[in-house]
């Protein structure tokens, strides 16, 4: 995913913040980088030989009650797949509730020899995208103590 590098990070990460109920702009990048993304337990995934990963997303993950009923009644397949590219798959594996955003940025930058800011911008935007789709949530502290939101 190509994202403008001029993008202010706190804006990008800041969009996660309502989830944490912390007021911007007091929350600096520093705080956002300590969050720990964790995968939604309703999702399963399959790593492919090409390096890509297929996420199997229950159809009713995002939809409301009416939609869910309607889907059951119309016998819509109850799963859809989403393909993550190689870097996406790498980041996905790291969303285990243990790694912080900062650590994921560093690991991705190292693995793909990306410039720090390039990694920061694309990883945070990617995480934001996953979060908007309910594929991941953010833990504020360690995985054990945290409550999934």
Partner 1 sequence: MNQSTELQAGDVGEEEMPSLDTALQTVVGWQGVRCVLPPDWNVAGFSMERESGYLRIDAPSDSSLTVQIRWTDAGAPDVKTPYHVLAKRVRKLLRRPEPKQAQIDLKANLDKFLKEIAKQSKKSKEKLDAHSKPERVEREDGKRRSINFSWSGAGKGQGKIWHCQVCNRVLVAQVVGMGKDQNAIAAIASRLFQSLEDHTEDGFDLWALYDLQVGIPDGFRLESQKLLSGYLHLAFQRGAERIVVDRWGLANITLKKFTVAEWFANHAQVNLRSLQKREETLANGHNITRFSGKLSVLSRLVAIRQARFSLRGVPTRFEGGVWHCPESNKIYSVQIWRQTRAEKIWEEVLSRCVCH
Report the Cα–Cα distance between both ends of the chain, in Å, rounded: 26
Q: 15, 29, 98, 133: which one contacts partner 1 (CB under 8 A)?
A: 29
Q: Is 84 in the site for partner 1 (CB under 8 A)?
A: no
Tokens of 143: 């995985």
H or E element that contains 73? helix 65-73
> What character string, x for contact with partner 1 (CB under 8 A) and - otherwise, covers 30-69?
x--x-----------------x------------------
DSSP string, 82-108: EEE-HHHHHHHHHTBTTS-HHHHHHHH
Nearer to partner 1 by Cβ, of 121 and 127: the residue is 121
Q: Is 93 in the site for partner 1 (CB under 8 A)?
A: no
């Amino acid at each position: 995913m190509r994202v403008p590098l001029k993008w202010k990070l706190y804006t990008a990460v800041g969009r996660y913040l309502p989830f944490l109920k912390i007021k911007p702009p007091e929350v600096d990048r520093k705080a956002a980088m300590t969050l720990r993304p964790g995968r939604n337990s309703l999702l399963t995934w399959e790593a492919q030989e090409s390096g890509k990963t297929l996420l199997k997303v229950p159809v009713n993950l995002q939809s409301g009650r009416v939609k869910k009923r309607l889907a059951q009644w119309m016998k819509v397949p109850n799963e859809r797949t989403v393909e993550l590219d190689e870097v996406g798959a790498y980041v996905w594996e790291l969303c285990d509730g243990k790694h912080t955003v900062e650590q994921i940025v560093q690991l991705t930058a190292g693995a793909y020899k990306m410039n720090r800011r390039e990694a920061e911008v694309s990883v945070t935007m990617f995480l934001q995208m996953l979060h908007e789709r309910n594929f991941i949530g953010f833990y504020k502290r360690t995985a054990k103590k945290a409550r999934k939101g």
